[in-house]
Amino acid sequence: MRPYVILNAAMTLDGKIATKTGSSNISGKEDLERVHEIRKECDAIMVGIGTVLADDPRLTVHKIDAKPEDNPVRVVVDSRCRTPIDARITNADAKTIIAGANEYKHEFFKSERYETFKNRGVKFFWSGDERVDLPALMSYLHEEGIETLMLEGGATLNFSMIRAGLIDEIRICVAPMVVGGSNAKTFFDGEGFDLMDDAVKLELKDCYSLGKDLILTYEVLK
Ligand SMILES: NC(=O)c1ccc[n+]([C@@H]2O[C@H](COP(=O)([O-])OP(=O)(O)OC[C@H]3O[C@@H](n4cnc5c(N)ncnc54)[C@H](OP(=O)(O)O)[C@@H]3O)[C@@H](O)[C@H]2O)c1
């Protein structure tokens, strides 16, 4: 058993979720409010360590009316436990789980960050040898009572999650902007597939304008 997973992101028309320098302010005000509504509805929100290092997100519900208990559990997929000691994702606003890989856990146990995070109430889940085992992480989160999970990037984790068949729905905000750049992160990076026949197939379920942006909702076909 695993949570129902909604991948949400904002991209430019050319599929970039950040510029080549890491700038990622893409959504308009209305879209940010939509994102925070999804956060409020979900039991957990998950990002990769690349996103924590690039953006230092809080991953709380703070752009719409919300109570502290509306904040989802925050999950960071971080094999080597590189989450910085002052990362906002580990603050007291919500529960946090760091998912690491077994290879790195003993070294991490000796670090000051481990003690600090433990004292802040951060929980840890260990799986995989050198990289987090995403299906095992999903099962663990489900056992922890997480029925709905919002995946908020980034590009590498998005691809691993969809390749593993762990995404049910995609909600994408397409902003009317073009930034180019072969080194700019796209919606899905990772290894990629060799053939179009291997592509993960989607079905469009909804489509509407929101301010200047376009919101598309897709079901991931199994
Ligand atoms: N526009 C948007 O909606 C949006 C949303 C989120 C992020 N972003 C942007 O996306 C960029 C970050 O993306 P990113 O691709 O660099 O990083 P990412 O996808 O956030 O994190 C990737 C990292 O997760 C770790 N990981 C652990 N297990 C994994 C697994 N099984 N599969 C995949 N990754 C695993 C890996 O590092 P370890 O091996 O060290 O664990 C990997 O390098 C930032 O520029 C951010 O601004 C944009």
Domain that holds residue 184: 4-220
Q: Name the DSSP letter for residue 139.
A: H
pLDDT band at 174 (very low <50, low <70, confident <90, very high): very high
Q: What is the mean pLDDT of the chain?
A: 97
Average pLDDT over residues 31-41: 97
Those residues with Cβ within 8 angstroms of residue 194's Cβ, 6 or more apart along the chain or in another chain: none
Average pLDDT over residues 35-39: 98
For ligand 1, whether the C-beta of 163 sits within 6 Å is no
Q: Name the DSSP letter for residue 212.
A: T
- Which pLDDT score is estimated for 165? 98
For ligand 1, whether the C-beta of 55 sits within 6 Å is yes
Average pLDDT over residues 13-33: 96
Average pLDDT over residues 61-68: 96
Distances (CA, A) of 197 to 4, 159, 181: 26, 16, 26
Average pLDDT over residues 118-131: 97
Q: Whose CA is nearest to atom 41 of ligand 1?
A: 79
For residues 202 and 217, give the distance between their C-alpha atoms in angstroms, rounded to a whole number.
10
- Please tell me the chain's helix, strand, coil percentages from 3-state DSSP, rounded to the nearest 5: 30, 25, 45
For ligand 1, whether the C-beta of 47 sits within 6 Å is yes
Residue 46 belongs to domain with CATH number: 3.40.430.10
Average pLDDT over residues 31-51: 98
pLDDT band at 99 (very low <50, low <70, confident <90, very high): very high
Tally of domains in the chain: 1
For residues 117 and 42, give the distance between their C-alpha atoms in angstroms, rounded to a whole number.
24
